[in-house]
Amino acid sequence: MSIPALISAMRKSFREYAKYFAIPVIAAVITVGCGKTILTNDENGGEPQTIEVDESEDVTFCSCFDVENMDKTIPFINGFLASLPNSLNDEQKLQALTSWLKSLSCINDATIFREVFSSLLQKRITEILVSFEEDGLTKETVLDVLMNNPLEATGFHELFYPGQITVVTKTFFTMDMVFDLINSFEHEVLYITGVCYISTMPSDSLLYVAYGIRDKPYVVGLAYALHFMTNKITLNLWLYDMKNNNYQEDWLKTINDYQLVEVMNEESYEGYNIIFNVPEGTERQWEGKFMEYEFVETVRLSYFSHY
């Protein structure tokens, strides 16, 4: 009998009792967690697939799966992981977990996102990206799986720090253009980084230029020096709270006062990094919107970091 035919027969004959038996055939059948029955092909190492759904237990799991309560589902997830056959390697177990998660009615998708190392725990962690619907919006969360033996789900966290999005401009995009872009949106601007200038003033004016710029209330992290090859005054800095029109006007005046020239089209420099503060939950939408501009090199989200 073929495996599909076997599955069909199992569904018909053992629907009420499947969670109490393991069928001794090529494929091992296990039922755990929220009542999902998973077929794992041990002999061929095939990817697990869902063959039966216990609707009542699916409802139990999904009743907890929302932004406020999803950590309550961790015991269900660890129950599933603990019940996987020992013959599976870690990669197969993770694939089984993503297949099981995707079989739940409250989860749109689940994929292995990345593996990271926690220096605090001195352990490897595999992150599984999970998407789901809530309040009419598609949302994302990340499930951390500690690579212990057995594997252990430890909790959920945001994929990226909410509300922050970094727009990186191409190198021809000048500061006055940056200000025009900022002023065309309502979003607050946390910082502008990647700000690099050369002053055409004499090299003995280094401290005069540096101290004058350092005293600006919106200048952060100023680094200054004479270029080791050209002996030109070079400055690297961040600009803070540049949604403020007074700050914008003052910086454009400062450029003239200290004879600053933007470092553009240099291989060692990328464009300006504009860190916008957008409404939480709209990061993906704004990522797509900003990428439509021809002067945008890339858009970065502030991904969560493990310690």
pLDDT-above-90 percentage for the chain: 62
- pLDDT tier at 13, thresholds 50, 70, 90: very low
- pLDDT tier at 8, thresholds 50, 70, 90: very low
How are beta strands 160-169 and 188-199 bridged, if at all? unpaired
pLDDT at 46: 52
Phi and psi dihedrals of 269, rounded to 5? -125, 140
How many other CB atoms sit within 10 Å of the CB of residue 136?
5
| Residue 10 vs residue 243, higher pLDDT | 243
pLDDT at 54: 64
CA 206 to chain centre: 41
pLDDT at 47: 52
pLDDT at 120: 86
| Residue 46 vs residue 13, higher pLDDT | 46
pLDDT at 48: 47
pLDDT at 226 over 90: yes
pLDDT at 266: 66
β-partners of residue 224 are: 235
pLDDT in tens, 26-85: 233 444 443 444 444 444 445 544 434 467 778 889 998 998 999 999 999 998 899 899
In three-state form (DSSP H/G/I as H, E/B as E, the rest C), the secondary structure along 216-263 is: CCCEEEEEEEECCCCCCEEEEEEEECCCCHHHHHHHHHHHHHCCEEEC
pLDDT at 241 over 90: yes
Return all residues near 180 (Cβ < 8 A) that are at least 6 apart.
none
pLDDT at 280: 85
Cβ–Cβ < 8 Å for 20, 32 = no
Overall average pLDDT of the 231-250 stretch: 96
Distance CA 240, CA 225 (A): 22
| Residue 44 vs residue 192, higher pLDDT | 192
Model confidence, pTM:
0.61
Cβ–Cβ < 8 Å for 39, 7 = yes
pLDDT at 15: 35
pLDDT in tens, 134-167: 988 888 899 999 999 899 999 999 888 888 999 9
**Maximum Cα interatomic distance, the chain, rounded to a whole number of Å:** 90
pLDDT at 225: 96
How is the beta sheet containing 123-134 ordered, strand by strand?
Answer: 107-118, 123-134, 137-146, 152-157
Least confident of 16-20, 128-132, 201-205, 238-242: 16-20
pLDDT in tens, 263-285: 976 676 789 999 999 998 888 89
Domain ranges, ordered by start, for the chain: 3-157, 163-303
β-partners of residue 223 are: 236
pLDDT-above-70 percentage for the chain: 81
